[in-house]
Structure 1
């Protein structure tokens, strides 16, 4: 794993422990009025107290019990009702190993399944999209992973073999008049699955401070859950890398 939870990041959350007027706090968390502010602080898992009435009310933010959740909400625009443990698990692998950002969502989903931390392929893609739309990462169109997939089978391949499989498909379909379903089945029989390619993501160097801070929150959240979880994650990641090229993950085409 190439990243570490220790960071000298200069980035800070907009909301930190301290005392705020109701107006100041309302601007920071984008809420107006006592009831709305109280409701949002509770949903963000913030410990606080307040004194005074009306415009003179002051809030003392005592503890951010889940700063990772707050980061995701305020910096990435993720809905408060999301399962933030699932996002954390996905971001842990994306941020801590240089190969994982180039994995198809199916492969990362399978790794998480293997340690009973199930996250669907659709959710993984959605969480990655949040990093992209906020400019923390971008699609790396210079590097593709090529593979064949069918049901529970995943076979990494080369660009040449990927292209070869699709050339044969189009010859069977257009020149020989074969039905597309039969042409796909021929590909599965010959190559072990349907030919696919997947572009990875590259992290934006301009946002290094925010990314390092995010990763420190991810790692701290895992440590709070259980120290042994780090070892469990890393052991399973190593096992996946050591598998044969016919590594298995859940997929349908």
Structure 2
């Protein structure tokens, strides 16, 4: 099976890039499953709303993953339990967190498990993703060996560490959160596909999607600043696509993809 994964959708421009260009991207890549990280999809660049979730699904997305901004828009509490293909990091406290941390997708008779976990280095001190992933993956592998993980984390070392830890147990681990697409797509020794960060979808000329001026001023004066999403200029879609053997769950190919200035690279 072929999976297209698209990194953090940021603001209005990010949602519009998906609506306007995902069909063209899918026509070129021909994925059977399309997964998008939507944790920055609101106009303010934090959280997601029900209408945005429906817009992404209507544009051809199969699963929407989240991250540390999952709860930045309170509206999510009203619909996440009913949104079958919207998942939040699995390692939020189990007893008190709505929603779910993984979902199953039927792909031409085969099952694909899509998991969402969040790192802890330089981020909130959630439950241990390594231990929880072990337990969840052991359970899922009784049903399918095809398992894709969106690991939403700050530290590159933590992203690679969990990928190496789960090498051979999952099909792929792809990082999100830092909004900068990395150049290290590879297949690990036991056939798990890995990419440190898929990048972001939205304003190509911003600073991680934000207006540059306020970010630069923060560095200059060290005072708190309100960051606002850039709404003008070029748009970009960044991510990766990978092929997974339906029988073994092994990744056989993984490549980065970027849509910019009307061109796919």
TM range (shorter): under 0.3
Quick check: which one's helix share is greater? Answer: 1
Q: Which has the larger radius of gyration?
A: 1
TM-score calculated relative to the size of structure 1? 0.21
TM-score calculated relative to the size of structure 2? 0.20
Larger RCO (CA within 8 A; separation ≥ 6) = 1
